Structure 1
Amino acid sequence: MIEVKDIVKTFGENEVLKGISATFQTGKNNLIIGGSGSGKTTMLKCIVGLHEPTKGKVFFDGENFTEMDFEQRVPIRTQIGMLFQNSALFDSMTVEENIMFPLNLFTNQSVSEKRDRANFCLERVNLKGRNKLYPAELSGGMKKRVGIARAISMEPKYLFVDEPNSGLDPKTSILIDELIAELTIEYKMTTVVVTHDMNSVMGIGDHIIFLHQGQKWWEGSNKEIAHTDNQELNDFVFASKFMQAAKDKL
């Protein structure tokens, strides 16, 4: 379980996060949603330590991550898998080398053991045999799946995903969502997904946190979101559905 307590993040005079507290549930898909500039990605980066909160605390299974120094954070960081918005693959590395990268950093496995793990992860994301391809040879959806394969290579307890469906067509987006949901159950992970895709929200949103102007404005499940009387959330949901419908017609 991951907990954030009274997280504040400022950049100069701009207060992006304004005292957010939330709990992210183990074995569930926890979604952070909200409009552009609401603080979604900043919140995710504060949780994993890419940004340091200005105030507040982050706990991983009861351990205060915020107060740890770099060395103390390493054991937790080895349990974190991360899929960035643009997949963040190394262009000069093959698919196999990209997946093996965290294994090279954090394990003492032999080359054959790391290669076996890479093969397992590739098969798990339906990319068996693509080991020697380079990122430039992959489609957008394939890059996302390689990114997911790398993220699960260390068998993480925590999975963080930033806009997994960005730039993907609706069909591929659904496949990525389903893969994330399956892996969350399979690994019993605490999964945190930043998204503005309402298809993702309704498809895999076990637990949803809606941010508005840097504050937690609503919290609930995808079943509850359809019946909320929260005006800002309703405006977001309606606008998202309208924009997606318009894109589908193009």
Structure 2
Amino acid sequence: MITVENIHKSFGDNQVLKGISAEFKPGTTSLIIGGSGSGKTTLLKCMVGLHEPTEGTVEYNNRNFTTMNFEERIAIRKEIGMLFQSSALFDSMTVEENIMFPLNMFTEQPKKEKLERVNLVLERVNLAGKNKLYPSELSGGMMKRVGIARAIAMNPKYLFCDEPNSGLDPKTAILIDELIKEITEEYDITTIIVTHDMNSVMGIGEYILFLHQGQKWWEGSKEEITSTHNQELNDFVFATKLMETLLKK
């Protein structure tokens, strides 16, 4: 479980986060949603240590990540997998080398064991045998799946996904959502997804945190989101669905 308590974050005079508290449970796909500038990406960065909160705490299974120094945080970072918006694959590396990168960085396993792990996660994301391809030879959906494979190569307890469906067609986006959810349940991972995709929200949103102007404005499930009377959330949902409809035309 990941717990954030009273998280504030300011950049100079700009207060981006204003007292966010939430719990993210294992085996659950948790989605952070909100409009541009609502603070969702800043919150994610505070949770993984890319930003330091101005105030508040982040805990991983009751371990206070916020108060740890760099060396102390390494143990938790080894338990974190990240899927970046652009997949962030190294262009000069093959699929195999990209996935092996965190294994080389954080483990001293023999190369044979690393390769076995690479092949296992490639098979899990339905890319068996694609080891020697380069990112330039992959489709957008395949790149995302390689990104997922790399993110789970270390068998993480926690998985963070930043806009995993960005740039994908609707059919491929659904496949990526389903893959993330399956992996979350299969390995009992605490998964947190930053997204604006309402199809993702309604498809895999077991816990949804809605941010508005840097504050926690609503939280609940995909079933509850359809009956909420929260005006700002309803406006966000309507505007997002309208934009998705226009983009499909």
Fold match by TM threshold 0.5:
yes
Other-structure match for 1:180: 180
| 1:76-116 superposed Cα distances (whole Å, 9 cap, x missing partner) | 11000000111111111110000000100111111111011
- Secondary structure at the aligned position of 1:4 is classed as strand
2:113 and 2:204 mapped to 1: Cα distance?
33
1:50 and 1:126 mapped to 2: Cα distance?
31
Q: 1:145 aligned to 2:145?
A: yes
Other-structure match for 2:14: 14
Q: Could you tell me the TM-score, scaled by structure 2's length?
A: 0.99
2:196 and 2:82 mapped to 1: Cα distance?
18
2:151 and 2:126 mapped to 1: Cα distance?
15
Other-structure match for 2:94: 94
Q: How many angstroms does 1:129 deviate by?
A: 0.9
**Percent identity for Structure 1 against Structure 2:** 72
Matches within 5 A, 1:45-56: 45-56=45-56
1:104 and 1:91 mapped to 2: Cα distance?
18
* Number of equivalences: 249
Which letter does structure 2 place at the counterpart of 1:79? E
Which letter does structure 1 place at the counterpart of 2:158? Y
1:108 and 1:153 mapped to 2: Cα distance?
14
2:135 and 2:8 mapped to 1: Cα distance?
37
Other-structure match for 1:236: 236
1:136 and 1:228 mapped to 2: Cα distance?
44
Q: How many angstroms does 1:23 deviate by?
A: 0.6
Other-structure match for 1:106: 106
Other-structure match for 1:38: 38
2:25 and 2:188 mapped to 1: Cα distance?
10
Other-structure match for 2:204: 204
1:80 and 1:14 mapped to 2: Cα distance?
29
- Runs of 4+ in structure 1 displaced over 4 angstroms? none
Other-structure match for 1:158: 158
Query: Which runs of 5 or more structure 2 residues have no equivalent in the other structure?
Result: none
- Secondary structure at the aligned position of 2:159 is classed as strand
- Secondary structure at the aligned position of 2:133 is classed as coil
| 1:131-159 superposed Cα distances (whole Å, 9 cap, x missing partner) | 11111111111111000000000110000
1:137 and 1:16 mapped to 2: Cα distance?
39
- Secondary structure at the aligned position of 1:154 is classed as coil
Other-structure match for 2:120: 120
1:42 and 1:194 mapped to 2: Cα distance?
10
Other-structure match for 2:189: 189
Query: Which runs of 5 or more structure 1 residues have no equivalent in the other structure?
Result: none
